[in-house]
Structure 1
Amino acid sequence: FSVPSGGSLSAPSNSPAVRQAAAHLKDKLFRIAAPILGAEPDDLEAAGEMIRVRASTSRAISFTDVCKRMPGDSISAQGERVPNYGGFRSDQAGCQFAEVEVDTETGIIRVKHVVAVHDAGRIVDPLTARSQVNGGILMGIGFALFEDRRMDPQLGIMVNPTMDDYKLIGALDVPQIDVTFFEVANGVTNTGVMGLGEVSHVASTAAVACAVYDAIGVPVRSLPMTPDRVLSALGHV
């Protein structure tokens, strides 16, 4: 049982409980393996795919063989999310750098390259974490250049609620993306995992806007930065 998935909360909220549950499950496997190895559960350790007696290379059994000795089809264990340890930073940090190209005749902006550097604590799964940042960058570019939520001021409803009228970033709009993780186990929980979703999204929009300002010398202060708004900022319309 956990909080809803969102707001950069999923991994830092759930991973401490998952780790605790996994540790309890390991203890249950050790209790099954101990009699087979002629040892006490506290004398065992997990080593690769084996459970073995500490300081012994011969007294070992595979996890597969231990699972064959389980009393039923499966065993389970529970963990809980204890409060964060005090005195440590628990918020994520990151920097986004964007290279853009602006056509001053048409007002069209193209994002050519985005570099993302993030501290999200311990990275459990690098591929998933990198994909998370890639997705956040694309959301940020879409927010900066294309997505225009038009609201009826009287009724409070969107007047462009379908994909026919609401433009999203497409495959040809995807820039080169480089992601680097500055991995720091911050000690705030038993996993040191922090959030990653929002910081890669919000910072990307700001980086694109600042790059456009640097390119044309004037700020475009409304999102999305559509061609007409770029030309207006340049004084062409």
Structure 2
Amino acid sequence: MPETVSTDPLPTVQIDGVVWSQVIAGNTVYAGGNFTTARPAGSPAGVNTVPRSNLLAYNLTTGELITGFAPTLNGEVKSLAVSPDGTRVYAAGSFTQVNGLTRNRVVAFDVASGAVVAGFAPPPTPSSTPSGPRTPPSTSAATSPPSAAPRAPAWPRSTRARAPCCPSPRPRRAATSSASRSPPTPARSSSAAPSRPSTAPATPATASERSTPAPARP
């Protein structure tokens, strides 16, 4: 099985800045970033340097700088991409000029020749080219005191007394003595009228009976 990872050091180009993006097209590596010079691997700073303006290319196998690709960009390169067929390399960043041509933040290079693709020149975005002179910001906002934020109206408080959270216990009745209690009401009988005497009054005696004396006993 062939080795896929190796610890052998690979020589590559050195720069005096930073690289933000790299892409591979065939056997060539394109590196874009923010730098002004490049030098061979192993060279100390300031020795064997060549100018490279934010974009360069080097051989993937040997790491040597490709001398035939040295475009000049007036701004840093933030991103790189390769076309699906591998014939173009696209660069995007903060530049507006490439090799003296107007290219607003995006440019295409031909991989075979390294030249700028003439037919690829997107128009600038509205934010990149202002139409007129810029108006200085007004100072009234800085000098005027900040307005107080509107406050929400206070909710009116109710004048009714609040009920207690817990009901108070009901008072117990004091126990009364038997003497202080009221006498019970007498029960009524079923017949409210008084009873009549069972015997009728005696019949008065006649006159013959009153005049005749009783006979004397011997």
Q: TM-score, normalised by structure 1?
A: 0.20
Structure having greater relative contact order (Cα 8 Å, sep ≥ 6): 1
Higher percent of residues as helix:
1
TM value normalised by structure 2? 0.21
